[in-house]
Amino acid sequence: MASMKRSEILKIIGQNIKRIRLEKGFTQVDLVGKIEARIDTTNISRIEKGRTNATIHTLYKISQALEVPLSEICDVYFSESV
């Protein structure tokens, strides 16, 4: 299995978050409202586009707000095959 670049991993994690958010019918504003942490829509947008390296704590808070396991957000191999 080939090693992935950091930018590829960030992009896939962002795509996972966006996919799950849209499946649940949430806007970025809705998601921010559900996250129990200090984060704004600009940060969510950057995370979804893979432009920033979110901390594990932020990813955990996002997973809690989306009501999915953190592993679903961080699953880089699921997205790779889609």
How is the chain split into domains, by residue range? 13-73
pLDDT band at residue 82, thresholds of 50, 70 and 90?
very low
- Give me the helices (H) in the chain, please: 6-23, 28-34, 41-48, 56-66, 70-73, 76-81
| Length of the chain measured in residues | 82
pLDDT in tens, 32-63: 999 987 899 999 999 999 999 999 999 999 99
Give the count of beta carbons closer than 10 Å to the beta carbon of residue 71: 9
Distance CA 73, CA 15 (A): 9
Class level of CATH domain 13-73: mainly alpha
Q: pLDDT over 90 for what percent of the chain?
A: 83
pLDDT at 76 exceeding the cut of 90: no
